[in-house]
């Protein structure tokens, strides 16, 4: 039925130079020779090069990742075992969720790079049998004054929107930061969340000698060849030429693939499923074979192709999107065919599960590769390295800064205006309205909350999800900065009323062969581990993206945390927006003037200096517990954590939704405290809550029992104005809203 057949042709001779061009070191090439007991064929060289690339093998990160808490609590599978993490949410249901980077493709082809990033992470979820119910994304760009950044920003947002909207998954939350260091190497991290019955979970392994290996979904073309290798090197001038290594996405086909895959898994005749992402057929066949401790023979002559003259090498390395590998019970192939026919998709038997442990690839019966599957994969024969680490030089300078040397500003209101206008702080409406945030009618809280909430139909439960990481904090203090990323994501989930239960992470760093970068990575992973143990939120899996550097600068180390929380009763959810006058606004957590790492300090000095903001994990935990209990008791009308821009920005944001509201607050500073630090500092573990007057005493008692500090800020009034200490800062809420809402559209004005 297919038009195109692969061709056998004279392959180029395999030499050490060719191996080097494939990104393999001399030692790695030598090791391949040892494993095979002969020179690899050209196709085998291609297979080893992608499987041993950083992207697939995690060779420079796995030793550190193993130090993370990766089991316990509600985890149903240990991290890295399946396509995504799996968390028990009770009633026989589980949540599959994961975050992944698509930085390099997005740097050279932002629309397709971002779109296929979304497509890839969705496949990871539904290949487990789970239906995706929410998508999130975490984005980093350069500054919007730069036309290239505006181009990347607009195309990435459109790519994410077009893919998710068409597929039919609500994009419910995310974050966008703009910092110079990401100018040529944007970060595009996509997260997806799905739900599945425990009994319906599909495994990513090949078992059962004689069972069929089927390729399902799209046909295979030349797009994305060597995408995994491309993702394992730095972005350079030459990267532009690698645009063909970027895959092209088709969300319509993905939607059909979703429905067909879930239908097929339900029949019970599918033994294993793995998505084809990086390294396509190569990765899925070798990983499923290794994990199932089975051999496998595939014949590429049966792979539906979309181009003529493709070689075995090209077919094995293609990263064409919207494909899956199925292991199907012998004799049940036609059941799968029937379902895929219904959805007008390919489903072709390309091989069988065999005795032994070898992955054998043929073209029309002729063997082109024969490799022990185990030797290719992470946890098996893939290389593992411990890299040199060295504390970065720059920390000496950033740490030597003394806040006392910073002059108090004349105009605190002007400083607030400037912060509200900063695109990292300003409203992201321009972004999130391009995403369908409501499809599937489960979105209870989206842009108005610190985290998003999707309800689980047929139950009272809801899931709270959020991604967080302030790369500047991690740059200034990798260990504590990474702890803050975990703490903040947990705090955001708490602020909508959910209990944090588990994380997925996407670790975006520079070149690991640079000892200073590796030190940042090591410290950050240690910090994540410490925080996750403290909050009892194990790591379910995720992704490491190294080589995020561009000619001008290295990116901030950016370990993005995707937090999952559970609400037992979704009706108890709260947002971060105040809708009524008369409510009391309370600060839970310490009043602090710490300016470390703040946007305010960075903007004043034109560069990040000092330490990251203060974090005490014990205080953090008790503040979160206090707020969670207060929300569950029904005392809280709105809750919002103090983050970028500090107390003043958080308070302003809470008042932006209902016209006419205002507040007059009194801050009682102890001697020596700085007013700019109190207003704009970003010390952690602080949450503003709005409560009806009759609940104030109960909250105070609850906080006291937990040892959490409570400070009364003021009462919501109808003045339409925010006023601090009688006027040291004074702004009309309407004006603040205008600045906050218009900042990004104004920076993009006149451009489509």
Q: Active-site positions?
A: 55, 102
Q: For residues 246 and 113, is the Cβ–Cβ distance under 8 A?
A: yes
252 in contact with another protein (CB under 8 A): yes
Please, which residue, 26 or 438, has the CB nearer to another protein? 438
**Given the rule CB under 8 A, which of 143-151, 408-416, 435-443, 545-553 is the region that contacts another protein?**
435-443
Beta bridge partners of 323: 217
- Beta pairing class for 131-141 and 171-178: parallel
Q: Which of 82, 100, 124, 162 binds another protein (CB under 8 A)?
A: 162
53 in contact with another protein (CB under 8 A): no
624 in contact with another protein (CB under 8 A): no
Q: How near is the Cβ of 498 to another protein at its closest, in Å?
A: 16
571 in contact with another protein (CB under 8 A): yes
Please, which residue, 167 or 326, has the CB nearer to another protein? 167
SS3 197: strand
CA gap 182, 549 in Å, rounded: 8
**Given the rule CB under 8 A, which of 14-22, 439-447, 486-494, 733-741 is the region that contacts another protein?**
439-447
**Given the rule CB under 8 A, which of 162-170, 187-195, 208-216, 390-398 is the region that contacts another protein?**
162-170
Q: For residues 461 and 90, is the Cβ–Cβ distance under 8 A?
A: yes
CA gap 602, 398 in Å, rounded: 11
Beta bridge partners of 296: 353, 359
**Given the rule CB under 8 A, which of 165-173, 174-182, 349-357, 378-386 is the region that contacts another protein?**
165-173
Q: Which of 35, 36, 439, 673 binds another protein (CB under 8 A)?
A: 439
CA gap 228, 348 in Å, rounded: 25
Q: Which of 101, 137, 138, 165 binds another protein (CB under 8 A)?
A: 165
Please, which residue, 240 or 433, has the CB nearer to another protein? 433
255 in contact with another protein (CB under 8 A): yes
| Cβ-based neighbour number of residue 148 at 10 Å | 12
Please, which residue, 160 or 531, has the CB nearer to another protein? 160
CA gap 377, 381 in Å, rounded: 6
Please, which residue, 45 or 160, has the CB nearer to another protein? 160
CA gap 558, 185 in Å, rounded: 12
Q: How near is the Cβ of 448 to another protein at its closest, in Å?
A: 10
Please, which residue, 45 or 347, has the CB nearer to another protein? 347
Total residues binding another protein (CB under 8 A): 32
CA gap 603, 682 in Å, rounded: 14
434 in contact with another protein (CB under 8 A): yes
- DSSP annotation of 717 reads E
CA gap 261, 713 in Å, rounded: 53
What sign does the dihedral 58-62-63-64 (CA atoms) show?
A: positive
Beta bridge partners of 502: 564
**Mask for 455-494, x = binds another protein (CB under 8 A):** x-x-------------------------------------
Nearest to 130 by CA among 180, 219, 204: 204
Helices of type H across 306-411: 312-317, 333-342, 394-399
**Three-state SS letters, 414-468:** HHHHHHHHCCCCCCCHHHHCCCCCCCCCCEEECCCCCCEEEECCCCCCEEEEEEE
Q: How near is the Cβ of 752 to another protein at its closest, in Å?
A: 6
Q: How near is the Cβ of 538 to another protein at its closest, in Å?
A: 30
Q: How near is the Cβ of 429 to another protein at its closest, in Å?
A: 8
440 in contact with another protein (CB under 8 A): yes
Buried b (16+ CB within 10 A) or exposed e, 331-362: ebbebbbebbeebebbbbbbbbbbeebbbbbb
CA gap 475, 521 in Å, rounded: 10
**Given the rule CB under 8 A, which of 122-130, 213-221, 330-338, 431-439 is the region that contacts another protein?**
431-439
Nearest to 56 by CA among 554, 545, 515, 528: 545
Q: Which of 82, 179, 233, 250 binds another protein (CB under 8 A)?
A: 250
Q: How near is the Cβ of 116 to another protein at its closest, in Å?
A: 15
Please, which residue, 526 or 748, has the CB nearer to another protein? 748
Please, which residue, 258 or 305, has the CB nearer to another protein? 258
Residues 6+ apart with CB under 8 A from 64: 521, 522, 525, 526
**Given the rule CB under 8 A, which of 382-390, 430-438, 469-477, 633-641 is the region that contacts another protein?**
430-438
Residues 6+ apart with CB under 8 A from 113: 102, 104, 105, 106, 107, 156, 159, 188, 246
Q: How near is the Cβ of 632 to another protein at its closest, in Å?
A: 18
Map tokens 């979160």 to a residue. Answer: 624
Please, which residue, 133 or 202, has the CB nearer to another protein? 133
**Given the rule CB under 8 A, which of 64-72, 224-232, 358-366, 426-434 is the region that contacts another protein?**
426-434
435 in contact with another protein (CB under 8 A): yes
Query: How many angstroms separate the Cα of 401 from the Cα of each of 471, 612, 658?
Result: 19, 12, 41
441 in contact with another protein (CB under 8 A): yes
Q: Which of 127, 253, 294, 543 binds another protein (CB under 8 A)?
A: 253
Q: For residues 247 and 158, is the Cβ–Cβ distance under 8 A?
A: no
Q: What is the phi/psi pair of residue 538, to 5°? A: -65, 160
Q: How near is the Cβ of 331 to another protein at its closest, in Å?
A: 27
166 in contact with another protein (CB under 8 A): yes
Region of 191 (left: φ > 0; alpha: ψ -120 to 50; beta: rest) is beta
Q: Is 749 exposed, middle or buried (0-12, 13-18, 19+ CB in 10 A)?
A: exposed
Residues 6+ apart with CB under 8 A from 14: 39, 40, 41, 42, 45
Please, which residue, 346 or 418, has the CB nearer to another protein? 346
443 in contact with another protein (CB under 8 A): yes
625 in contact with another protein (CB under 8 A): no
Please, which residue, 86 or 570, has the CB nearer to another protein? 570
Q: Which of 6, 251, 541, 613 binds another protein (CB under 8 A)?
A: 251
344 in contact with another protein (CB under 8 A): yes
444 in contact with another protein (CB under 8 A): yes
- DSSP annotation of 299 reads E
Q: For residues 586 and 699, is the Cβ–Cβ distance under 8 A?
A: yes
Q: How near is the Cβ of 279 to another protein at its closest, in Å?
A: 26
Q: Which of 318, 437, 550, 599 binds another protein (CB under 8 A)?
A: 437
Pair of tokens at residue 53: 């690339």
Please, which residue, 55 or 461, has the CB nearer to another protein? 461
Q: How near is the Cβ of 324 to another protein at its closest, in Å?
A: 17
Q: How near is the Cβ of 565 to another protein at its closest, in Å?
A: 18
343 in contact with another protein (CB under 8 A): yes
Q: Which of 8, 26, 241, 438 binds another protein (CB under 8 A)?
A: 438
**Given the rule CB under 8 A, which of 119-127, 166-174, 400-408, 620-628 is the region that contacts another protein?**
166-174
Q: How near is the Cβ of 37 to another protein at its closest, in Å?
A: 49
Q: How near is the Cβ of 115 to another protein at its closest, in Å?
A: 13
Residues that bind another protein (CB under 8 A): 158, 161-162, 165-168, 250-253, 255-256, 343-344, 432-441, 443-444, 455, 457, 570-571, 752
């Amino acid at each position: 039925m297919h038009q195109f057949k692969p061709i056998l042709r004279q392959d180029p001779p395999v030499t050490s130079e060719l191996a080097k061009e494939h990104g393999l070191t001399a030692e790695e090439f030598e090791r391949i020779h040892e494993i095979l007991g002969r020179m690899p064929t050209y196709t085998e060289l291609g297979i080893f090069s992608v499987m041993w690339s950083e992207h697939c093998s995690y060779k420079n990160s796995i030793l550190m990742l193993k130090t993370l808490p990766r089991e316990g609590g509600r985890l149903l599978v240990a991290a890295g075992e399946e396509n995504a993490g799996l968390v028990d949410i009770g009633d026989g249901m589980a949540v599959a969720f994961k975050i992944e980077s698509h930085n390099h493709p997005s740097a050279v082809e932002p629309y397709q790079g971002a779109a296929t990033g979304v497509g890839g992470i969705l496949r990871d979820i539904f290949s487990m049998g789970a239906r995706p119910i929410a998508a999130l994304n975490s984005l980093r760009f350069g500054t919007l004054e730069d036309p290239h950044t505006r181009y990347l920003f607009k195309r990435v947002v459109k790519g994410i929107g077009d893919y998710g909207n068409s597929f039919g998954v609500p994009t419910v939350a995310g974050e966008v930061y703009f910092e110079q260091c990401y100018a040529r190497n944007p970060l595009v991290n996509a997260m997806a969340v799905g739900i599945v019955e425990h009994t319906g979970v599909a495994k990513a392994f090949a078992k059962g000698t004689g069972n069929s290996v089927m390729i399902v979904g799209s046909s295979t073309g030349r797009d994305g060849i060597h995408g995994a290798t491309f993702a394992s090197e730095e972005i350079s001038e030459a990267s532009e030429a690698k645009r063909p290594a970027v895959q092209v996405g088709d969300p319509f086909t993905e939607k059909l693939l979703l429905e067909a895959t879930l239908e097929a898994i339900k029949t019970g005749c599918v033994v294993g499923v793995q998505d084809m992402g990086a390294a396509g057929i190569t990765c899925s066949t070798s990983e499923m074979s290794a994990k199932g401790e089975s051999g496998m023979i595939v014949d590429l002559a049966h792979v539906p192709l979309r181009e003529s003259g493709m070689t075995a090498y090209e077919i094995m390395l293609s990263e064409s999107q919207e494909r899956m590998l199925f292991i199907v019970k012998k004799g049940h192939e036609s059941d799968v065919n029937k379902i895929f026919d219904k959805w007008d998709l390919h489903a072709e038997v390309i091989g069988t599960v065999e005795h032994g442990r070898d992955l054998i690839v043929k073209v029309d019966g002729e063997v082109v590769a024969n490799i022990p599957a185990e030797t290719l994969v992470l946890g098996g024969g893939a290389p593992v390295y411990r890299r040199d680490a060295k504390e970065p030089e720059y920390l000496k300078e950033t740490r030597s800064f003394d806040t006392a040397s910073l002059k108090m500003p004349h105009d605190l209101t002007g400083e607030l205006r400037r912060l509200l206008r900063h695109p990292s702080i300003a409203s992201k409406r321009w972004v999130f309205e391009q995403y369908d945030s409501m499809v599937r009618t489960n979105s209870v809280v989206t842009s108005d909350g610190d985290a998003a909430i999707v309800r689980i139909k047929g139950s009272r439960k809801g899931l709270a999800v959020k991604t967080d990481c302030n790369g500047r904090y991690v740059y200034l203090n990798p260990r504590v900065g990474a702890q803050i990323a975990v703490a903040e994501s947990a705090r955001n989930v708490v602020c909508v009323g959910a209990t944090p239960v588990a994380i997925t992470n996407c670790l975006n760093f520079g070149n690991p062969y640079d000892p200073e970068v590796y030190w940042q990575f090591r410290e950050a992973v240690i910090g994540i581990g410490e925080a996750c143990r403290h909050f009892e939120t194990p790591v379910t899996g995720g992704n490491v993206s190294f080589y995020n550097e561009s000619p001008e600068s290295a990116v901030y180390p950016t370990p993005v945390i995707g937090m999952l929380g559970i609400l037992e009763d979704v009706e108890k959810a709260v947002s971060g927006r105040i809708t009524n006058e008369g409510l009391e606004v309370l600060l839970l957590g310490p009043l602090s003037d710490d300016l470390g790492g703040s946007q305010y300090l960075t903007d004043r000095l034109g560069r990040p200096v000092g330490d990251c903001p203060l974090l005490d994990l014990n205080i953090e935990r008790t503040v979160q517990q206090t707020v969670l209990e207060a929300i569950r008791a029904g005392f809280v009308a709105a809750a919002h954590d103090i983050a970028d821009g500090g107390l003043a920005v958080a308070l302003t944001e809470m008042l932006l939704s209902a016209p006419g509201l205002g507040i007059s607050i009194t801050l009682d500073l102890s001697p020596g405290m700085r007013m700019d630090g109190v207003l704009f500092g970003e010390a952690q573990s602080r949450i503003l809550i709005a409560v009806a007057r009759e609940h104030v005493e109960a909250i105070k008692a609850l906080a006291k029992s937990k040892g959490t500090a409570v400070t009364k800020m003021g009462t919501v009034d109808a003045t339409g104005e925010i006023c601090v200490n009688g006027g040291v800062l004074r702004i009309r809420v309407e004006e603040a809203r205008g600045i906050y809402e218009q900042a990004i559209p104004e920076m993009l004005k006149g451009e489509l």
